[in-house]
Structure formats: structure tokens, C-alpha cells
Amino acid sequence: MRIFTRLATALSVAAFLVVGTGPAQADAPTIERIEFEETFHDDFLTGECGVDVTTTVRGFTIFKQFTGAQQNLLQLTTVNITGTATSDFGTMRFKNVGADHMMVAPDGTVTLRVIGQLPFEFTGVLVFDLGTGEVIKVPHFRGEEQVGKACRFLAP
């Protein structure tokens, strides 16, 4: 899952939770686990490596949403995905693991902390102010390094 997909989901949930949360007591979180397996033509790696690449991803995502005026943690999303990218010349495996914390500060600022390892993106912690889009903390970006490694496995 690319970072922008995660952010779009987070923004829509944040808007709903911040506007829709009333002065109720904190309830138990709602939990949804989604397991999946999908195979697709990988346009990103095909474009980067110059060979046709097919990727299979399998794993799960767990969404926990919290409600109630006393909550500072609005949503916790955990991700555990294994990917296998294959071309006529080789195969590469990768992991997308981590947790996304959507939190609201006492001043009402909603932040998203993306923690973990996102293939072809970064490792570490990325923190956004969801109201302004400001990046508060920048992780270690490893995208170019990881793409280079992938292409060494996938290209002739």
C-alpha cells in the first residue's frame, strides 16, 4: 500500500471522527481485520526496472477505531503484508509492516504517525498534521536504494 493511499484513508477517517465525536464516554474500539491476496501487473516496478513485473501481495490489515471525548488515539492501523515481485529474470520478496497511529492533541491538532517499513518508500516514523498537511517528523527515505535492489533481482 503506497503512502498516499494510507493518507487518503486517514484524512477521511480523521474528518469523520473529529467532527462526529461527541461528549460520550470512551467505548471499546471497533476492530476490523481484512485479509487479502492479490496478483497484479506492477506498473511501478515495470517502469523503474524496464521489464514486465508481476507482483503478488498477501497479508492482513487490522483497523481499530476509538470513539469518545476522552480518547486521544482515534485510529490504530496495523499492517503485515508480504510481497513477491517476479519477472522473466528473477524474483524479489519484500515486507510492508508497521502501524499507523491517528491521534488528536489537547489543542485539537490531528496527527498521523506512520511507523514501520514501507517498501520503496521509507523506514521509521513519518508524522503529519492532518489539518494543515505539514510534515512534523521525516523518516529515513530509502526508496531509490530499494528500487535499485529490486531491479538488480528483476532485470537482466
Under a CB-based contact definition with an 8 Å cutoff, are residues 105 and 128 in contact? Answer: no
Q: Is the pLDDT of residue 92 over 70?
A: yes
Nearest to 110 by CA among 79, 132, 125, 137: 132
Average pLDDT, integer, range 87-116: 88
Please give the grid coordinates belonging to residue 3.
503512502
Q: Which domain covers residue 142, as residue numbers?
A: 3-154
- Specify burial of residue 150 (Cβ count, 10 A radius: 0-12, 13-18, 19+): buried
pLDDT tens, position by position, 10-20? 444 444 444 44
pLDDT tens, position by position, 29-74? 899 999 999 999 999 999 999 999 999 999 999 999 987 656 677 8
pLDDT at 6: 47
Length of the chain equals 156
Residues contacting 28, CB < 8 A, separation 6+: none
Neighbours of 104 (CB within 10 A): 18
Percent of the chain with pLDDT over 90: 44
pLDDT at 125: 80
Query: Average per-residue pLDDT in the chain?
Result: 82
Give the separation between CA 90 and CA 132, rounded to whole angstroms. 43
If you average pLDDT over each of 5-19, 41-55, 93-107, 125-139, which comes out highest?
41-55
Under a CB-based contact definition with an 8 Å cutoff, are residues 36 and 44 in contact? Answer: no
CB-side neighbour CA atoms (13 Å) of 67? 14
pLDDT at 62: 98
Number of domains in the chain: 1
Nearest to 74 by CA among 37, 39, 121, 109: 109
- Could you tell me whether strands 122-129 and 90-104 are parallel, antiparallel, or unpaired per DSSP bridges? unpaired
* 122 sits in which H/E element: strand 122-129
pLDDT at 151: 96
